[in-house]
Amino acid sequence: MSEEILTVVRLPLADLSEEIKRRHKLSEALVDCRIEGDALVMYFSRTPQASPASIVPAASAVEVSRQVRSEVAGTQHGKRRRRAKGKRNRMRTRGWQVVGRIVNSRGQAAVIYKPFVDALTGKHLTSSQQKAVVTQILRANGNRPSAASIDYYWMNTVEYLRLETSKVEATASAN
């Protein structure tokens, strides 16, 4: 591991805000400050929400110090992004009989449903025709499937059917 020398310069926010106010001839009080990307953003307001003495030295200085350290270290602490509230995208499979469960070629645990098995078993269809059948079954149940969902159900059913035919062939050759 290579050694690194880190130089830390610590400036009080009160001094920085006074310098900015003097340079830009501002009479407003410092209300808030943040690190955004590679810039220190300072907010000045005519109607301070709290006294500048309470904001600058204690709470805000600690927050800015933490943000600066995280910027230097390359990590980002702070608010997490909240997931948008709404309905989850799940396929409606209620009422469909489960034929089996497999671990597919991608390592995913997959449930195999009877309507897909019935529609794809023993018929000589091209892959695009099989996908069209799977799409039709999903839409008939009130779903709006994406291309990824169609591929998921189609590939899992085809893999299941291949496994079943290889099991039947293995038992037939054993007898």
pLDDT, tens digit (0-9, with 9 covering 90-100), for 154-175: 999 999 999 988 887 777 777 6
Region 81-110: mean pLDDT is 84
Residue 125 has pLDDT above 70, yes or no: yes
- CA separation for the pair 41, 27 (Å, rounded): 17
Region 53-75: mean pLDDT is 51
Residue 62 has pLDDT above 80, yes or no: no
Look at residues 133, 98, 132 and name the one whose alpha carbon lies nearest to residue 113: 98
- What are the DSSP E strand ranges found in the chain? 29-36, 39-45, 98-103, 109-113
Residue 51 has pLDDT above 50, yes or no: no
Residue 115 has pLDDT above 80, yes or no: yes
pTM for the complete prediction?
A: 0.49
What is the percent of the chain with per-residue pLDDT over 70, rounded to a whole number?
75
- CA separation for the pair 118, 32 (Å, rounded): 64
CA angle (90 as vertex; 164, 165 as ends), nearest 5: 5
